[in-house]
């Protein structure tokens, strides 16, 4: 699909009216629902770091072939897939645990190593799922801000380790920043991690890295260090919808991770697709090559617009739009392009790479939006933030105030400090914007909770936040 450039006048007209549905060549307008059927409707979705080329043709064939066997249970313990991963990585199969995406693996790792009273140390901003899983298990999260170059501060992370620390969680390349930990820095960091602390390294975006000054942490696993590498087939392998990910860890740690897993979490077609995709090196190369070109287009477009961006070793780029990024995000969405903003970086947008046509259309749209400015009456896209809980401490009821985006389910759960779920206050789609929810201090069964400190956890898609509240009787 190619874009016919639209004029700034068209854009101005459309934003003034705010009633249009389509603009020429830019596809669907407005935030997209998740359940859409037509592949073309995904054009312009630059918000989820997906593979714009789609799954490999080999994976597609495998999916079609396996569909007629959907009445049969899969290889329930993923043995064939794990053997395929072992072959590809040239490691014994007892280093691998496969599951339904990195998402499942992150939960399994947190469940294996984090409990009540423990601490997890991680960077901010980063991909927040591990921290969320930790808090749901009763662990406390220690966040260490990235440095001035947006790189994870490894010394800061080491300084934050206490005798309670059980897990350090790193995302390399980091999401949303796209920066990496350089190989010598990782080596000297790992040499200093105290005994008894496990380091989980989420390498979801590993395949996109171009610099020589990086290496995967897999070789530390081979050397016997307590390192767990998390990988996914959702990104460079183009299988986000098939849900496959895996961990690589020592034969000591792997059973700790796998023992908490339900059987058959990866469907039969997904297992077949993953196995086929691992063999399709040409699709992988094409993906990487497109990503390089798409990033170059974004970089040169941003430079032309005099916008600063963060050089990314990933399939997304953070750009400083110099103004309220949420407003720009809404305006881009009206023009058919979904991007992300948030993470406490109010002027940055995260833009996933897409096809070159999508990149051209996106840059054109961004230039239009920035050139005309955001009209005062323009509806602003809401970002995710857990604002406050008040009163705190409370006696009979407290109000949780937060902001959510409109497009993904929101979960708000109260846990006690032993990691036991006390009450789910929200698990639903909520309108975008500010929300308030009252907790009456009771558990799921209507029984008043005891005096004490409770964790209030808010989750929406890839965003998570938590605060603590004290119930005093
Ligand atoms: C850093 C990181 N880890 C894990 C995931 C989840 O991946 P999966 O689709 O394999 O569950 C994502 C998704 O965007 C991610 O950015």
62 domain residue, yes or no: no
Q: Is the pLDDT reported for residue 132 higher than 80?
A: yes
Q: 117 and 210: one domain?
A: yes
The residue whose C-alpha atom lies closest to atom 5 belonging to ligand 1 is 102
Q: 203 and 272: one domain?
A: yes
Q: What is the pLDDT of residue 4?
A: 45
Return the CATH number at 156. 3.40.640.10
Helix (H) or strand (E) holding 260: none
Q: Is the pLDDT reported for residue 341 higher than 90?
A: yes
Q: Which domain holds residue 31?
A: 8-53+282-372
68 domain residue, yes or no: no
SS3 381: coil
Residues 419, 425, 429, CA angle at the centre, nearest 5°? 120
Q: What is the pLDDT of residue 375?
A: 66
Q: What is the pLDDT of residue 34?
A: 52
Cα–ligand 1 centroid distance for 379 (angstroms) = 30
Average pLDDT across the chain, whole number: 91
378 domain residue, yes or no: no
Return the CATH number at 365. 3.90.1150.10
Q: 324 and 389: one domain?
A: no
Q: 326 and 395: one domain?
A: no
Q: 272 and 289: one domain?
A: no
Q: 124 and 29: one domain?
A: no
Q: Is the pLDDT reported for residue 129 higher than 80?
A: yes
Q: State the closest ligand 1 atom to the C-alpha of 233, by its place in the atom list counted from 1.
A: 10
Single residue among 372, 402, 428 that ends a domain in this structure = 372
Q: What is the pLDDT of residue 432?
A: 86
Q: What is the pLDDT of residue 40?
A: 75
175 lines ligand 1 (CB under 6 A): yes
Best CA proximity match to 444, nearest among 419, 423, 468:
423
Q: What is the pLDDT of residue 434?
A: 92
Q: What is the pLDDT of residue 405?
A: 87
C-alpha gyration radius of the chain: 23
80 lines ligand 1 (CB under 6 A): no
Task: Kindly report, residue by residue over 55-106, the tens digit of the pLDDT.
Answer: 999 999 999 999 999 999 999 999 999 999 999 999 999 999 999 999 999 9
Q: State the closest ligand 1 atom to the C-alpha of 232, by its place in the atom list counted from 1.
A: 10
Q: 225 and 112: one domain?
A: yes
Q: Is the pLDDT reported for residue 32 higher than 90?
A: no
Q: pLDDT higher for 24 or 151?
A: 151
HSE of 197 in the Cβ direction (CA atoms, 13 Å)?
26
Return the CATH number at 421. 2.60.40.4070
Q: What is the pLDDT of residue 19?
A: 29
Token duo for residue 44: 């312009």
Q: 256 and 355: one domain?
A: no
For 145, residues 6+ apart whose C-beta sits below 8 A from its C-beta are 123, 124, 153, 156
Helix (H) or strand (E) holding 219: helix 218-222
DSSP secondary structure letter of residue 41: G
pLDDT class of 11 with cuts at 50, 70, 90: very low
Q: 294 and 339: one domain?
A: yes
| % of the chain residues with pLDDT over 90 | 85
Q: What is the DSSP string of 115-134?
A: -TT-EEEEEESS--HHHHHH
Q: 219 and 294: one domain?
A: no
Longest dimension (CA), the chain: 64
340 domain residue, yes or no: yes
Cα–ligand 1 centroid distance for 257 (angstroms) = 18
Q: What is the pLDDT of residue 103?
A: 98
Q: 318 and 419: one domain?
A: no
183 domain residue, yes or no: yes
Task: Kindly report, residue by residue over 167-201, the tens digit of the pLDDT.
Answer: 999 999 999 999 999 999 999 999 999 999 999 99
Range of lowest pLDDT (20-29, 243-252, 365-374, 412-421): 20-29
Task: Kindly report, residue by residue over 51-66, the tens digit of the pLDDT.
Answer: 999 999 999 999 999 9
314 lines ligand 1 (CB under 6 A): no
Single residue among 348, 372, 396 that ends a domain in this structure = 372
CA–CA distance, 361 with 373 (Å, rounded to integer): 18
58 domain residue, yes or no: no
Cα–ligand 1 centroid distance for 6 (angstroms) = 34
Cα–ligand 1 centroid distance for 103 (angstroms) = 6
2 domain residue, yes or no: no
Segment 421-431 shows an average pLDDT of 94
pLDDT class of 408 with cuts at 50, 70, 90: confident
Q: What is the pLDDT of residue 407?
A: 75
Q: 29 and 96: one domain?
A: no
């Amino acid at each position: 699909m190619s874009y016919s450039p639209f004029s700034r006048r068209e854009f101005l007209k459309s934003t003034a009216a705010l009633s249009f549905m389509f603009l020429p060549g830019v596809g669907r307008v407005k935030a997209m629902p998740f359940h859409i059927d037509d592949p073309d409707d995904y054009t312009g979705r630059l918000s989820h770091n997906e593979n714009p080329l789609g799954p490999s043709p080999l994976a597609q064939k495998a999916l079609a072939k396996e569909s007629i066997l959907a009445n049969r249970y899969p290889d329930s313990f993923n043995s064939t897939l794990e053997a395929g991963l072992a072959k590809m990585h040239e490691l014994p199969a007892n280093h691998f645990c496969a599951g339904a995406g990195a998402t499942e693996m992150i939960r399994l790792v947190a469940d294996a190593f984090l409990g009540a009273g423990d601490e997890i140390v991680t960077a901010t901003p980063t991909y927040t799922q591990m921290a969320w899983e930790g808090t749901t298990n009763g662990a406390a999260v220690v966040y260490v801000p990235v440095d001035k170059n947006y790189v994870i501060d490894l010394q800061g992370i080491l300084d934050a380790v206490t005798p309670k620390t059980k897990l350090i969680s790193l995302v390399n390349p980091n999401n949303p920043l796209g920066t990496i930990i350089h190989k010598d820095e990782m080596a000297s960091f790992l040499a200093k991690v105290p005994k008894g602390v496990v380091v989980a390294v989420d390498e979801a975006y590993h395949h996109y890295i171009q610099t020589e000054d990086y290496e995967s942490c897999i070789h530390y696993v081979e050397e016997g260090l307590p390192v767990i590498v998390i990988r996914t087939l959702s990104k460079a392998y183009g299988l986000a919808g098939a849900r496959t990910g895996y961990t690589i860890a020592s034969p000591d740690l792997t059973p700790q991770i796998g023992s908490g897993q339900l059987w058959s979490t990866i469907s039969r077609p997904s297992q077949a697709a993953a196995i086929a995709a691992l063999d399709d090196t040409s699709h992988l190369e094409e993906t990487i090559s497109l990503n390089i070109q798409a990033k170059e287009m974004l970089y040169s477009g941003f430079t032309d617009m005099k916008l600063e961006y963060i050089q990314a070793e990933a399939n997304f780029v953070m750009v400083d739009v110099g103004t309220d990024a949420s407003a720009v995000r809404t305006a881009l969405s009206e023009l058919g392009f979904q991007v992300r903003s948030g993470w406490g970086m109010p002027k940055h947008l995260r833009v996933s790479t897409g096809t070159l046509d999508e990149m051209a259309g996106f840059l054109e749209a961004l230039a239009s939006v920035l050139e005309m400015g955001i009209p005062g009456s323009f509806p602003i896209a809401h970002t995710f933030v857990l604002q406050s809980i008040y009163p705190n401490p409370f006696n009979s009821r407290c109000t949780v105030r937060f902001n959510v985006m409109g497009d993904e389910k929101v979960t708000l759960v109260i846990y006690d400090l032993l990691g036991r779920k006390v009450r789910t206050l929200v698990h639903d789609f909520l309108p975008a914007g500010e929300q308030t929810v009252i907790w009456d201090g009771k558990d799921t069964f209507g029984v008043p909770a005891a005096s004490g400190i409770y964790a209030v956890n808010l989750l929406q898609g890839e965003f998570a936040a938590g605060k603590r509240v004290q119930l005093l009787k």
